[in-house]
Structure 1
């Protein structure tokens, strides 16, 4: 494998400076293509009350599924697309918008719409170049490496923290 790329469970994973460069290139593209960036993320719960999390090849840690809202795409369409692509998930009830967060860690103009969604998984989600691992977890005991923002959102969902305005 090339510098900045390692193998994890048979999949290429971008790491270190290469990951930062990749994120900078992608974000620069999004700024040029979109002006303001807008994304969706969802706390997806199954019938057992477990939350679905994903681990990407290009970012460290566990996240809620989600992604950017593209031109000519509604936030609802983006949400449906992202949970399907990242987890083979489909909503079993209308998603509930929990908040709009300013994500200053990405840029000075990035916002995330955060939803709570009851879901069912239509098929297992196999690892690929984007998602190296995913699954349902106890929201009170997420996997090691879960990002700080994801942990804060889970605490907000449990009522342990007030809802923030920043991601």
Structure 2
């Protein structure tokens, strides 16, 4: 299935090259009661990243956030702490705007973290902010550094 996702991704990027669409996305910096961050490895992309994805037409950012957390890591209950920042990406030929939310799970909520969609998610895990796994995506690493510095970010993804 990972091969199928990669092939679909290549076709999508070819379409985006031609159409240059404007897209909206959400990602979640999910923190547990111990201050660890939840990261995922997608089957269609390299590296560890925050869970998240695209905002569908007619869907608000918080609704998309809840849907993506449910679909990717089986998290149903969380509290939005703040918006970490709004970022812009022109990768993959899209004009993409990504809102990063910092969300907290209640004590014991870390047990809920699971691969909700094995076709899309290769691996999930909790990591201390000062002991991230090898292969964290550059953008995810920058967002974690901003969070640790107490900054509200923005600009280039």
Q: Which ranges of structure 2 fall in alignment gaps of 5 or more residues?
A: none
TM-score for both structures, normalised by structure 1: 0.78
Q: Distance in 1 between matches of 2:60 and 2:45?
A: 25
Contact 1:53/1:64 (CA < 8 Å) preserved in 2?
Answer: yes
TM-score for both structures, normalised by structure 2: 0.83
Q: Distance in 1 between matches of 2:40 and 2:113?
A: 13
- Cα deviation per residue 1:112-136 (whole Å; 9 max; x = unaligned)? 0111000234635146111010011
- Cα deviation per residue 1:125-165 (whole Å; 9 max; x = unaligned)? 14611101001111221111111111111111111877341
Aligned residues: 151
Matched, 1:148 2:134: no
SS of 2:46's partner is coil
* Aligned counterparts, 1:4-153, within 5 A: 12-14=1-3, 19=6, 21-27=7-13, 28=15, 35-119=21-105, 120-121=109-110, 123-126=112-115, 128-153=118-143
Contact 1:89/1:122 (CA < 8 Å) preserved in 2?
Answer: no
Runs of 4+ off more than 6 Å: none
Q: Which ranges of structure 1 fall in alignment gaps of 5 or more residues?
A: 1-11
Bigger drift between 34-43 and 115-124 goes to 115-124
Q: CA RMSD in A?
A: 2.7
